[in-house]
Chain A
Amino acid sequence: AQSVTQPDIHITVSEGASLELRCNYSYGATPYLFWYVQSPGQGLQLLLKYFSGDTLVQGIKGFEAEFKRSQSSFNLRKPSVHWSDAAEYFCAVGPGGYQKVTFGIGTKLQVIP
């Protein structure tokens, strides 16, 4: 069965510092991989996605993620964090249909001045 692990439940970074959020997955074939962001009191918004091609994908808001098949990872990165990036971030994995997409438990990002 597929699964997603986000090992960091909570991360605190200083504004302007770099960020890396970890995501490891378990899936039998090449999966669809996603990162979503959830601001307080709101639903999730898609940051980026990957299925094939270049293993470094660019998303919205200056985020990028790198797919590493050998490590079963899809870590999210940002070179310089802004206070507005404080939110919860969810990694997700699955095949084509949403009824089979599995979300991770989320990583809450706190940004300090």
Chain B
Amino acid sequence: IAGITQAPTSQILAAGRRMTLRCTQDMRHNAMYWYRQDLGLGLRLIHYSNTAGTTGKGEVPDGYSVSRANTDDFPLTLASAVPSQTSVYFCASSPGGNSYNSPLHFGNGTRLTVT
């Protein structure tokens, strides 16, 4: 079934450690996104990529980095994790960047706990 695969499903991480959350899509979508979901704050965009080779900063990019070496993969890296990065992380993709014409497809999320 076509879609977005995120790994790991959940992770407990010690503060200060480096962590990469993986995201792979098989729909050949141009645009990909990383969101974090926190209780009472909804979804907030961390980083995005409109096409392979390009990335941009979202609402809450600090402490995170991304790369987009190819169409399918969009990993999110926490260089030195802090407890405030405890959250559920969602990867999403869309055929194009226009929100009305290109619906978002979401992965099932990665639950990250930083201790």
Contacts and interface: CB of A to CB of B under 8 A. Distances in A.
Contact of A98 (B31, B44, B107, B109): B31
A90 B43 contact: yes
Contacts, number: 64
B106 A45 contact: yes
Contacts of B4: 43
A105 B109 CA distance: 17
- Dominant secondary structure of chain B at its interface with chain A: strand
Interface stretch (B13-21, B66-74, B93-101): B93-101
B100 A98 contact: no
Contacts of A51: 100
B108 A96 contact: no
A44 interface: yes
Interface of B: 4, 31, 33, 40-45, 48, 56, 58, 90, 92, 94, 97-100, 103-109
